Amino acid sequence: MTTASEIETGRRVFGRRLAIARDDIKAARLDDGAAAPDLAPGQALFHVDRIALTANNVTYAAAGEMMGYWRFFPMPAGEGGLPVWGYATCEASTADGVKAGERVYGYWPLGERLLIEVGDVDARGFSDPSDHRQGLSPIYNRYERAPGDAEAETEMVAALFRPLFTTGWLIAKQLEGASDYGAAQILISSASSKTSIAAAWSLAQREGERPDIIGLTSPANVDFCQGLGIYDRVLAYDALADIAADRPTTYVDMSGNGALRHAVHTRFGSRLGYSMAVGMTHWTESQGNKDLPPPEAKLFFAPAVMEQEQNRLGRDGYHQALAADWRAFADFIRPQVDIDVIDGLDDAHTAYERLARGDVTGQTALIVEP
């Protein structure tokens, strides 16, 4: 096992890696790190090959302290390792059931190499049960075996959207299971974000009557979001007054913008049946729930909804339903986005800082190949 002192100095992520200042997530630096050690029994070393860089990763950084995201990839004191989703290849392994050359999909640092403690091995994949990951969601600790012959574009779309699709899909399932909290209209902020797109797409697939799906976004992203065809209406944030205030409403807050949340609660008042807090794409404007008119904004917790759906469908039924909808969504979203491939961590550093400043549009999709 990796020692406590190694964990404190970040000795899980080897080679070059991006280190983010915890007290100012717009500030980041590249750290040359260290050479990977000889493996102890039960360990595997992975080289990060292809990962997505999205506004969701900025959310991880913004909520790093509150939600424990900094714990996944320990860094030196005062800094955090940015969690990202994508693919890596096993370079060496002393763990039963994991072989060198095997390709894996999961949660990685924005860096070159990750040392994993391998546990819970089965046909689908394995988990990392390291001490510093205890108490964190198993969704993030699980690594899935990936086909070695997948096309690059297929992997890119999966890296960009698959984890966020799962979150959006589960949001839609929670709403459906609660009869949309009585809503005739569902407002989704940060409508251009990948999780919002996944949630809106999932809601739009329902058969029969459903609430209107209204996207709120920045003026620059209105046309893009409307062109997706999954929102019944898309409005800029400053057009909130154009939405009927006398209809039962549910709010899915993907932006974390405290001023916007307050405005939504104020406008819809008693007609607001539920307020779901999901993301923090507007993390610089997050103000929490201070002086927020009712109802209380409830934090969305994906593992609880996943457990609920597994109980309803059975474990195999859940995976089959999610996989089928993912395939359909992947076919839908592939032509909708412009994928920009970033070669190397130097340019990834710059791209992260652009994301943290909010300088990347919803139609742009960033893939990093360290």
- The 8-class DSSP code of residue 335 comes to G
Q: What is the pLDDT of residues 181-222, one digit of tens each?
A: 999 999 999 999 889 999 999 999 999 899 999 999 999 899
Q: How far apart are CA 330 and CA 126, in angstroms?
A: 25
Residue 11 in contact with residue 34, Cβ under 8 Å? yes
Whether pLDDT at 8 is above 50:
no
Q: Give the HSE-up count for residue 136: Cα atoms under 13 Å, Cβ half-sphere.
A: 23
Q: Which of 36-40, 138-142, 162-166, 290-294 has the lowest mean pLDDT?
A: 290-294
The whole-angstrom separation of Cα 194 and Cα 199 is 9
- Determine the pLDDT at residue 288: 54
User: For residue range 255-283, what is the model confidence (pLDDT) as tens digits?
Assistant: 888 899 999 999 999 999 999 998 655 44
SS3 state at 235: strand
Residue found by looking up tokens 């062109």 in the block: 227
Once rounded to an integer, what is the mean pLDDT over residues 289-312?
88
pTM for this entry: 0.80
pLDDT at residue 280 in the model = 56
